[in-house]
Amino acid sequence: MVNYYQLLKVSPKATNAEIKSAYRRLARKIHPDVNTTHAPENASGEFAKIAKAYEVLSNPQTRVAYDRGLLNAQYKNSASGDSVFTSENAHARRWRQMAYERRYNEIIDRMIADERRETMALQRVIFPTVALFLSTCFVGIFKPMFWTNLQFVGKIILLALFVVGIVHLVARLRKGFERYTYRDENLHDSILEESAPVTKPYTRFAAACFLIVGIAASLGVGLLIGNVLEMAISSPMPRIFASSLRPEFVFYPPIAVLFVDLMHSFASKFDL
């Protein structure tokens, strides 16, 4: 059984980031387009091997299945000689069982940790995005006039929250773009350049379009619902809710995103 860890020159306990880094380093070194020390067919074969190794080890599910197979193969190979692996002594059997369980637990723990990190990273993108869409929709429905009704100090506070909210939202979206999107470019270039991603699912253009269309659609739906419910919302409280859009409405979605994301971050600290 081919040892993909040795092929990529990483430890069996390597993180996904370390595996990706090792793959990219080897890909740049032996890719057929840049390799001049081997025949093209040999370079292609070596590149195919490390590509397969990366494909298996970069996915938590396929990696845990591979690790189990590798562990079984290692123990079977060890069993060919006179050692604790072949002994039927009760202590030897117990030791073998403990070794299996410890290694399997390490595999499962690593898989759970990787999935948890990926889930948390995804939530840090999804929560602000959903909060942005929903808050934009609610602004379109209710058209609040908090800025208009606030005194000077209140306006300063609201403006400060808006600035913090914008900075926070831009930071969250930028991290999401960096982690899950790539620029449209040639696949070979993406492999050979250190800064370019190779396994990200969406183009930056598609993600930007989704964001813009989502905001526009949320506002449109909110305005549509708000027009239907105008008599029930703005008429009874004209000092709080307006009947038409005003420039101050841009303040509220970033602030809503800030508070929603802060609550999510606080709640996640207690998620065991």
∠ Cα 192 197 123 (to 5°)? 165
Residues 6+ apart with CB under 8 A from 77: none
Distance of alpha carbon 1 from alpha carbon 133, whole angstroms: 50
Burial class for 235, CB neighbours closer than 10 Å (0-12, 13-18, 19+): exposed
Q: Give yes or no: residues 261 and 144 share one domain.
A: yes
Q: Is residue 105 part of a domain?
A: no
Range of the domain at 46: 4-88
Q: Which among 42, 70, 88 is the end of a domain?
A: 88
Q: What is the DSSP string of 58-109?
A: TSHHHHHHHHHHHHHHHHHHHTTSSSTTT---HHHHHHHHHHHHHHHHHHHH
pLDDT at residue 239 tops 80? no
User: Between these two residues, 67 and 95, which has the higher pLDDT value?
Assistant: 67
What CATH number should be reported for the domain holding residue 74?
A: 1.10.287.110
Distance of alpha carbon 236 from alpha carbon 142, whole angstroms: 12
Q: Is residue 124 part of a domain?
A: yes
Q: Give yes or no: residues 177 and 61 share one domain.
A: no
* pLDDT tens column, 142-200: 999 899 889 999 999 999 999 999 999 999 999 999 888 887 554 444 444 444 444 57
Predicted local distance difference test score (pLDDT) of residue 164: 97
pLDDT bracket for residue 211 (50, 70, 90) = very high
Q: Give yes or no: residues 128 and 263 share one domain.
A: yes
Q: Is residue 94 part of a domain?
A: no
What sign does the CA torsion over 178, 182, 186, 187 have? positive
The top-scoring range by mean pLDDT among 31-40, 56-65, 222-231, 254-263 is: 254-263
Q: How many domains does the chain have?
A: 2
Q: Which among 88, 106, 128 is the end of a domain?
A: 88
Q: Give yes or no: residues 174 and 210 share one domain.
A: yes
Predicted local distance difference test score (pLDDT) of residue 243: 78
Average of per-residue pLDDT values in the chain: 81
Predicted local distance difference test score (pLDDT) of residue 120: 86
Q: Is residue 122 part of a domain?
A: yes
Q: What number is the average pLDDT over the span 224-242? A: 77
Lowest mean pLDDT among 11-20, 77-86, 223-232: 77-86
Q: Give yes or no: residues 77 and 145 share one domain.
A: no
Q: Is residue 157 part of a domain?
A: yes
pTM: 0.66
Q: Give yes or no: residues 172 and 213 share one domain.
A: yes
Q: Give yes or no: residues 70 and 185 share one domain.
A: no
Q: Give yes or no: residues 139 and 247 share one domain.
A: yes
pLDDT at residue 250 tops 80? yes
* pLDDT tens column, 189-198: 444 444 444 4
Q: Is residue 99 part of a domain?
A: no
